[in-house]
Each structure stands twice: as C-alpha cells, then as structure tokens.
Structure 1
Amino acid sequence: MDRLHFFTPVRIARGQGHPVEEVDSVAEAMVFLQKWPSGRRGPVYQCALNCCSAALSGRMSPEEARKAFTGFARITRLLDDDMAMPMGGESIAEVYALRR
C-alpha cells in the first residue's frame, strides 16, 4: 500500500443525482481541495489543505490528513451519511473522549 493512501476512504456525497465519490489518498484529497471554489475557502478548508500538504511532505501522517479532510467534508456537508456517525456501535461520547 502506498504510504499516502488512507486506511478508509472518505466518501463525498455532492447531493441527489451525483454519485458518491471516494477519496482514498492524500493526493486525491489535495486535488479535491484545490478545485474547491475560492469564495468558499475558510479556516476549515485551510486546515485540511495545510494537513494534506504536510502529509505530502512527510511532516504528518496520511491518517492525520484524512481526519482534517473528513472534518472539512463534514463541515461543508459533503460527508456521506454513512460516514457521519461512528462505526462499530460506538457512542458519540466515546468518539469525543478519543479526541482528548
């Protein structure tokens, strides 16, 4: 496996009538972010872009970049509904406890 691939792809849903896209690497996330409209590039976008850049240069792991990209997708409401909730029966409290 390429060191820049995500363990689990980030599923992007642009809305009804559009197929769900799977972003499965730092490079694909970077391409997605570079195509993002400049008028909609806020701090969450910048964080995801910085993390992907850091992963490409080896200063951050691909999974850390994936987390930032997933956060961007969630905030912009592009994250596929299947990814929006924790997997494996974890409660939302358990997920937030892992972030600390």
Structure 2
Amino acid sequence: MSFYFESPIFVKDGSRIVREIASLDDAIEFLDNWPEAHRDLIYETAWRTCCEVFDGHKPLSVAHSAFEGFARKAKILEDPASVMPWIINSKSGGGLMTA
C-alpha cells in the first residue's frame, strides 16, 4: 500500500539529479539510503515520523512536513517552480526538451 503526498517534494540526489518524492514509500526509501555519516537529529525525526505515519499513528501530512523539513535542513530541497518546467516541457522517450 502506498500513501501519496498531496504535493511532491523535489530533492537533489547527487550533484545534478533532482528526485521527486511523491509518496511515503519514496520518502522512506530516500531516508533509508541517506548516508549514515550525515544522519542527525533532524534525519532521525523525519525517519521516525515517516515510520509512525506508515504504522497509522499519524496523518500523512505530518510525514510530508517532516521530510520537507529534513530536506530543507540538509540543503537538498528544490523549489518545485524551478523543477516543474523541465517536467512539463519534456518529451517522453527521447529525453529532449521542447521550446
């Protein structure tokens, strides 16, 4: 079962890749793969919150807020307005952008 966020969160995953976090599963997977050396209290709070939402103890909006706060603190949060034009203008299959 997947719980989709009302609005996706976009994060940098590496130096150039932007990843869409659209669901609780996406958030948990991203946090699970976060380097152990960079895990701090904000990370732990986001991880715990996502697990509590998954277990049905908190609403989905709380996980969205916790993950977004983690991404902001980790300086990997991307502005949706700067990401969306690339998604909207892209052609599927070729990876080419239209003008």
* TM-score bin (small chain): 0.7 to 0.9
| Matched residue, 1:74 | 72
Once residues 5 and 17 of structure 1 are traced to their aligned partners in structure 2, the CA distance between those partners, rounded to angstroms, is: 25
| Matched residue, 1:33 | 31
Deviations 1:33-68 (A, max 9, x none): 000011111000000001100010000111100100
User: Displaced runs of 4+ in structure 1, greater than 4 A?
Assistant: none
In the TM superposition, residue 4 of structure 1 has moved relative to its aligned partner by 1.5
| Matched residue, 1:45 | 43
Indicate conservation of the 8 Å contact 2:5/2:64, yes or no: yes
In the TM superposition, residue 5 of structure 1 has moved relative to its aligned partner by 1.0
Change (3 A) 1:3 1:61: farther
Counting only pairs closer than 5 Å after superposition, residues 1-100 of structure 1 correspond to structure 2 as: 4-14=3-13, 17-18=16-17, 20-82=18-80
One-letter code of the match for 1:28? D
Rg larger in structure: 2
Indicate conservation of the 8 Å contact 2:68/2:77, yes or no: yes
Indicate conservation of the 8 Å contact 1:10/1:23, yes or no: yes
Return 5+ residue gaps in structure 1 as ranges: 84-100
Deviations 1:6-56 (A, max 9, x none): 0000111246532x2110111110000000011111000000001100010
Q: Normalized per residue, which structure has more strand?
A: 2
Percent of pairs identical after alignment?
A: 31
Change (3 A) 1:14 1:51: same
